[in-house]
Amino acid sequence: MKKVLLVLALSLIAMPMYASASVISHYTYTKHNKSDLLAKDVYKKANLKGVIDFKVFNEGYQAYYNTPKRKKQLLTIIDYSKPSTQKRFYVIDLKRNKLVYNTYVSHGVNSGGKTSTRFSNIVNSRQTSLGTFLTDSTYYGGNGYSLRLDGMTPGINDNARRRYIVVHGADYANESFIRRNGYLGRSWGCPALPTKLARQIIDTIKGGSVIYARA
């Protein structure tokens, strides 16, 4: 009788342990795949095919998904693998599944000519930084209306504040500059935007949205 009771007791103890392992396994699987599924859903609903490669969008979406301090359902992607003569700055509204802006953006003067090939996190390098950024507040400075950025990728862009890497408008970031020179003008490392769009883009993405820059 004692042997039967012991076996029954051991069975009761083992059952919840088995159930818990099953739940944990299911949760891990769900968590791992959730962001991929969401990215595919947004990509399709926002009609981004042919506008931005899914691999690039998915990289940006994973950066957004894994940034806990974000405050807005907006994702900005800068694809520096494209030359400056192409519109490589994308702002996607993840709540409405809509591409809000797609325009030109400059890279740093020491990052390359028409195409950026060198990137840095070093102060005074005048090169572009890659990685995930969070937008902060606006101010008026030497480049006019500007948006402060915080670099969220350690060792890659976390000197953004010290380097004064901000979003701002610039005459050299306009399409007319490309027509005259064959390439977009370059900054000291800031992602400079066309003057006519700069303010409205800044006001859209300011206050805690994610920017993902890649090459």
pLDDT in tens, 26-72: 323 345 589 999 999 999 999 999 999 999 999 999 999 999 999 99
Q: What is the CATH number of the domain that holds 74?
A: 2.40.440.10
Q: Is residue 168 part of a domain?
A: yes
CA distance 194 to 198: 6
φ, ψ of residue 75 in degrees (nearest 5): -130, 125
Q: Is residue 3 part of a domain?
A: no
Q: Is residue 100 part of a domain?
A: yes
pLDDT in tens, 165-194: 999 999 999 999 999 999 999 999 999 999
Q: Is residue 17 part of a domain?
A: no
Q: Which two tokens stand for residue 41?
A: 């859903």
Q: What is the mean pLDDT of the chain?
A: 89
Confidence at residue 145, expressed as pLDDT on a 0 to 100 scale: 98
Confidence at residue 9, expressed as pLDDT on a 0 to 100 scale: 41
CA distance 7 to 24: 26
Of 201, 134, 136, the closest CA to residue 170 belongs to: 201
pLDDT band at 93 (very low <50, low <70, confident <90, very high): very high
pLDDT in tens, 113-140: 999 999 999 999 999 999 999 999 999 9
Q: Is residue 31 part of a domain?
A: no
pLDDT > 50? residue 6: no
CA distance 99 to 185: 25
CA distance 107 to 113: 9
Q: Is residue 23 part of a domain?
A: no
Query: What's the pTM?
Result: 0.86
What residues are paired with 101 via a beta bridge?
Answer: 91
Q: How long is the chain?
A: 215
The C-alpha angle 76, 78, 59, rounded to 5 degrees, equals 75
pLDDT > 80? residue 111: yes
Q: Is residue 18 part of a domain?
A: no
Confidence at residue 12, expressed as pLDDT on a 0 to 100 scale: 37
Q: Is residue 190 part of a domain?
A: yes
Confidence at residue 66, expressed as pLDDT on a 0 to 100 scale: 97
Q: What sign does the CA torsion over 34, 208, 106, 201 have? A: positive
Measured between alpha carbons, how far apart are the two ends of the chain, in Å? Answer: 71
Domain range enclosing 210:
66-214
Structural contact between residues 118 and 126, judged by C-beta atoms closer than 8 angstroms: no
Number of domains in the chain: 1
